[in-house]
Structure 1
Amino acid sequence: MKHFNHNHGTSHQHFCLDSTTSSDSWRMFRIMSEFVDGFDTLSRVLQPGVTIYGSARTAEDHPSYRVTMDIAHGLAAHGYAIITGGGPGIMAAANRGAAEAGGLSIGLNIALPHEQEPNPYANMRLDFQYFFVRKVMFMKYSMAFICLPGGFGSLDELFESLTLIQTHRIRPFPIVLVGSEYWRGLLDWMRERMLGQGMIESEDFERIEVMDTPEEIVSYIRKTVVL
C-alpha cells in the first residue's frame, strides 16, 4: 500500500499549493502578476494561435518529433502562431518547426523542481509558476489544439479543453489527436464506457479529430481556423 507523507519537512516547500499559511495572501500577488504578464504579452499577438502539446520525454529521433516539427512548420509558414508549453520533447519540436519557418514560436514555460528547462526555439517566452494560470493562457489565446502522444499533462490539457467546450465556458475549436495507433485504446474506452453509458453526448465525443500526417492536419486547421 502506498503511504503519503503529509508532514511539513523540507521537501514540502517544493509544492506550489500547500496547506494554508500566512503567506497565502502574498501568493495571490504572484498569481495576479502571472495573469497580468500573460494577458499583456499574448494580447499583442495578432495572428491566430495553435497550441501543440505532447510529451516532454519525446527524443529527437522519435517519429513523433519529426511529425511535430512538420506540423508546426507548415502552420507557421501559413501565418499561424505556434504555442507550446515551452519545454523539451514535443514542445521543443513544435517551437523548432515554427522558428525554422520564420514564424511566431511561443513558449509558455512552467517552473518545475528538477525538470523542464525551457527549449531554445521559442522566440516569445513567458515563465509560469502555476499550472492553472498557464492553462488559462492556452485556452484564451488558442484557436485550435493539436495533441501528440503524451502523458498525464497532455491528458490534463486535452480533457480540460473538452470540459470547457462541453460546459460552454469557451468557444468550440478544433481538437486534433495525432497518431491513431497511440490514441485508439483511449478513444475505444471513451466510446464504449463514457458514451455507451451516457456519461457524455455523441457531440462531445465527435469534437475530437484523429489524424496521422502533417499534411492532413495543416490542411484541416487551414480550413477550420481562418486567418
Structure 2
Amino acid sequence: MTTGNQQHSEDVQAAELRERLDAVIADAGALGHRGLIRRIVSTGIGLGTDGATRLDLKITATAVEEMRAAFRLFAPFVGVPKVTIFGSARTQSHDPLWVGAEAAARGLAELGWMVVTGAGPGIMEAAATGAGPERSLGISIRLPFEEAPLDVAADDGHRIAMKYFFTRKLMLVKESRGFICLPGGFGTMDETFELLTLQQTGKMEPMPIVLLDRAGGTYWQGFARFVTEELAGSGLIAVDDLDRVLVTDSPDAAIAEVTGFWRNYDSLRWQGEQLVLRVRAEPSDAELDDLNERFSGLCEVGAITRSGPLASEIADDDALDLPRLVLTPRRRAVGDLYRLIRALNELDSAPR
C-alpha cells in the first residue's frame, strides 16, 4: 500500500520529470502541442521503467519511426483529396483488372485526386501508373517472397517502405476519402474486411467504398453472396451492412461513387449523443421536412434540425463556415446514416 509520504515523493518526481522533459522539448524546438509530445516521450521512458523486453522496445521504436515517416510523406498534400486503391500484387498488365484499376486512377487524378497504393506490383502498380508520378503516393511493405514493383515514381519523395503491416494499413486508410478494392488474395481480403469493420463499428468516418471487378466478373458478386448468405444469414452482421458498398465492373461508376459521395456532405462530429453533419449547402425547409419524414427511424429522439457551430467546434475552429444538421441517432444505425448522407448529396439544393 502506498503511504502518504511515498505518494508525495512520487508526485514530486513526476513533476521534476515533467519540467525536465519540457526543457528538452523546448530546446529541440518542438513548440507546438507540447503536452502531446511530452506524452509520447513519457511513454517511451515508461516502457524503460516497466522493464519492457528488447523486442517490445524495438517494435515500439520502429512503429513510431514508421508513422513519423508516413506523416511526413503526406504532409505536403494536406487538403488534396485522396483515394486508396487495393488489389492483388499478382495481376498482370494484360489483365482487364489492371486496365480497370489504371482507368479509375487516371480518371480520379484528372479530377484533382491523389491515388494512394501499397506501392507494390500488380493492381498497385496499375493504379500508380494511371495516376502518374505527381498524383500517386505509395506505402510499400518489405516482404521476403514478393517481387518489387516496377520503377514507377521511384525516388521522388512519393514513396516509403515499412516493416509492419499494422502501421502500413493505418496510413493506407488514415488520409483517404474513398477506397476502391479490386480482386486479390488474402491481403486484399484483409484490407477489404478491415474497411468494412471500421465502417460498421463507426471507427472510421463515413467514406465511399467501391468493389471493382472486371466486366462480367464474379469475384465481388461471390463475396457479396457469402456476406449476405453466411454472415447476415447467420445473424452475425446486419442484413443491410453491405448496402453501403458499391459493387461494380465499371471504372466510371467507381469514379462517380467516390467523387459523388462528397458532392454536398463534408464531414461529421459527435457532441455527446448528438451527431453534427456538416454540408456544403443548407437544405430548404421543404427538403428538411422530407428528410425527417424519410429518416424518422434514424433518430433516437427528436428530429433532424439545423444548427450553427457547437461550442466544441468553435473552440477547435472546426469548419465554422459550413451549414450544419444535428440529430441524435439510434445506436447501430450506420446503414441509415449512409443513406442519409446519400440523400443529402441528391438534394436539389446540393452543389452541382
TM-score, length-scaled by structure 1:
0.85
Give distance in 2, aligned partners of 1:74 and 1:150.
22
3-state SS of 1:23 partner: helix
3-state SS of 2:137 partner: strand
Give distance in 2, aligned partners of 1:219 and 1:187.
21
**Pairing 1:31-46 to 2, within 5 Å after superposition:** 31-45=63-77, 46=79
Give the equivalent residue in structure 1 for 2:287.
none
> How much does 1:26 deviate?
2.5
Give the equivalent residue in structure 2 for 1:222.
259
Give the equivalent residue in structure 2 for 1:137.
171
Give distance in 2, aligned partners of 1:216 and 1:33.
38
**Aligned residues with identical type, % of pairs:** 40
> How much does 1:184 deviate?
1.4
Q: AA paired with 1:41?
A: L
Q: AA paired with 1:40?
A: R
Give the equivalent residue in structure 2 for 1:162.
196
Give distance in 2, aligned partners of 1:207 and 1:194.
16
Give distance in 2, aligned partners of 1:104 and 1:225.
19
Structure 1 residues 202 and 43: alpha-carbon distance in aligned structure 2, compared to 1, 3 A threshold: farther
CA contact (8 A) 1:88 1:117 kept: yes
Structure 1 residues 188 and 22: alpha-carbon distance in aligned structure 2, compared to 1, 3 A threshold: same
Give the equivalent residue in structure 1 for 2:338.
none
Query: Which of the residues 166, 177, 181 maps onto 2:218?
Result: 181
Q: 1:168-219: CA deviations, max 9, x gaps?
A: 1110211100125221112111111111221111342212110111122112
Q: AA paired with 1:183?
A: W
Q: 1:70-128: CA deviations, max 9, x gaps?
A: 110000010000000000000000000000xx751111110001324144224510111
> How much does 1:23 deviate?
3.1
Q: 1:7-47: CA deviations, max 9, x gaps?
A: xxxxxxxxxxxxx9633313321111001111222133131
Query: Which of the residues 101, 107, 111 maps onto 1:68?
Result: 101
Query: Which of the residues 119, 136, 140 maps onto 1:86?
Result: 119
TM-score, length-scaled by structure 2:
0.56
Give the equivalent residue in structure 1 for 2:128.
95
Q: AA paired with 1:108?
A: I
CA contact (8 A) 1:66 1:93 kept: yes
- Structure ID, larger Rg: 2
RCO comparison, higher one (Cα < 8 Å, 6+): 1
Give distance in 1, aligned partners of 2:150 and 2:168.
17
Cα RMSD for the two superposed structures: 1.8
Give the equivalent residue in structure 1 for 2:243.
206
Question: Structure 2: 5+ residue runs without aligned partners?
Answer: 1-51, 267-352
CA contact (8 A) 1:64 1:148 kept: yes
Give distance in 2, aligned partners of 1:183 and 1:112.
27
CA contact (8 A) 2:139 2:168 kept: yes
Question: Structure 1: 5+ residue runs without aligned partners?
Answer: 1-19
> How much does 1:165 deviate?
1.5
Give distance in 1, aligned partners of 2:145 and 2:234.
41
3-state SS of 1:209 partner: strand
Give distance in 2, aligned partners of 1:105 and 1:158.
20
Give the equivalent residue in structure 2 for 1:120.
151
Tell whether 2:62 aligns with 1:25. no
Query: Which of the residues 228, 238, 259 maps onto 1:191?
Result: 228
CA contact (8 A) 2:209 2:258 kept: no
CA contact (8 A) 2:89 2:124 kept: yes
